[in-house]
């Protein structure tokens, strides 16, 4: 089933009701009506009964196409064994008050990374360079990263520019791209220890979650990266990430011993 939904270019949460009479693995995509390789969500869920799938969209175009399908049977609801109710919208569930906007690096970086995440699916790569308005943040958009072909992005430890692989980003959803970019940004601009992956994970996630992006997309972005490097250290990172994401909304302590530079003072207290 495909349906066009008017968003109005305003941040929102789509609510997609799905019902099945038997257990089915259902796919849900929300994609641009205008641009290729521009997905706002791309996920599967095993459904038996009724459920509402919520898609947080901090970046929202005028219109999107919502596609719901049975993994084995395709788009046709009757044949696919599912029914989709009226797709609704509700306010985006975000925590902007938790972002440390007193840090001007954060305030200027978020719009730039949001814009690049939105256009990465159809923009030129091949080494093209993208800048923010102040020329402070730099993305080199490569077809792939030759020295690290398994890596979707990496930051230069001395100069702070980010290399991004179009091979990965063109298949990633917009939220997944944001999760990766915020992680790399955190390494250089927010971390106390520039080399700490866990500190960058949590600083990046604090921004990502506060902006209202889907939790499942954060899991997917890290899972894809770790699939190429299933080390013990990455398994430990994934457990910390899972704990942090699941506890963030409830204000429980993160699995990191020091205050996170990404968070505002009021939310530092909330998480301690």
pLDDT of 257 over the 70 cut: no
Answer whether 0.85 is exceeded by the pTM.
Answer: yes
Of 102, 99, 259, the residue nearest 182 (C-alpha): 99
Tens digits of per-residue pLDDT, 222-254? Answer: 888 887 777 888 889 999 898 888 888 776 645
pLDDT at 69: 93
Q: What is the DSSP string of 86-147?
A: --EEE-----GGGB-TTSHHHHHHHHHHHHHHHHTTTS--TTEEEE-TTS--EEEEESS-TT
The share of the chain scoring above pLDDT 70, in percent, equals 94
Domain boundaries, the chain: 2-90, 96-270
pLDDT at 266: 80
Give, in words, the CATH class of 2-90. Answer: mainly beta
Tens digits of per-residue pLDDT, 104-137? Answer: 999 999 999 999 999 999 999 999 999 998 899 9
Token representation of residue 166: 């179009």
pLDDT of 255 over the 70 cut: no
Measured in whole angstroms, the distance separating CA 176 from the mean position of its chain's CA atoms is 3
Q: Under DSSP, is residue 171 helix (H, G, I), strand (E, B) or coil?
A: coil
Tens digits of per-residue pLDDT, 143-155? Answer: 999 988 889 999 9
pLDDT at 167: 96
> pLDDT band at residue 2, thresholds of 50, 70 and 90?
very high
The residue-averaged pLDDT of 87-105 equals: 95
pLDDT of 55 over the 60 cut: yes
Q: Which DSSP letter does residue 263 get?
A: B
Burial (CB count <10 Å: 0-12, 13-18, 19+), residue 109: buried
CA atoms of 250 and 188, how far apart (whole Å)? 28
Alpha-helical (H) ranges within 128-260 are: 166-169, 174-189, 197-211, 215-227, 232-248
The residue-averaged pLDDT of 71-91 equals: 84
Token pair 């704990």: residue:
243
């Amino acid at each position: 089933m495909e349906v066009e939904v008017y968003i109005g270019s305003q941040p929102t949460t789509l609510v997609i009701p799905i019902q099945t009479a038997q257990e089915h693995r259902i796919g849900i995509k929300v994609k641009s009506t205008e641009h290729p390789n521009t997905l706002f969500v791309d996920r599967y869920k095993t459904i038996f009964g009724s459920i509402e799938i919520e898609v947080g969209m901090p970046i929202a175009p005028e219109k999107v196409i919502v596609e719901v399908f049975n993994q084995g049977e395709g788009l046709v609801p009757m044949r696919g064994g599912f029914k989709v109710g009226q797709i609704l919208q509700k306010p985006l569930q975000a925590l902007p008050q938790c972002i440390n906007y007193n840090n001007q690096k954060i305030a200027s970086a978020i719009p730039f990374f949001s814009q690049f995440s939105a256009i990465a699916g159809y923009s030129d790569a091949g080494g093209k360079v993208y800048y923010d308005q102040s020329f402070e943040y730099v993305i080199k958009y490569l077809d792939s990263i030759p020295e690290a072909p398994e890596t979707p992005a990496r930051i230069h430890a001395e100069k702070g520019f980010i290399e991004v692989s179009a091979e990965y980003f063109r298949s990633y959803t917009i939220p997944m791209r944001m999760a990766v970019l915020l992680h790399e940004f955190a390494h250089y601009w927010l971390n106390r220890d520039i080399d700490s992956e866990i500190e960058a994970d949590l600083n990046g996630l604090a921004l990502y979650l506060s902006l209202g992006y889907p939790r499942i997309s954060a899991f997917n972005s890290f899972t894809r990266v770790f699939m190429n490097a299933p080390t013990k250290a990455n398994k430990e990172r994934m457990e910390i990430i899972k704990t942090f994401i699941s506890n963030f909304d409830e204000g429980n302590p993160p699995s990191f011993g020091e205050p996170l530079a990404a968070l505002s003072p009021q939310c530092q207290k909330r998480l301690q």
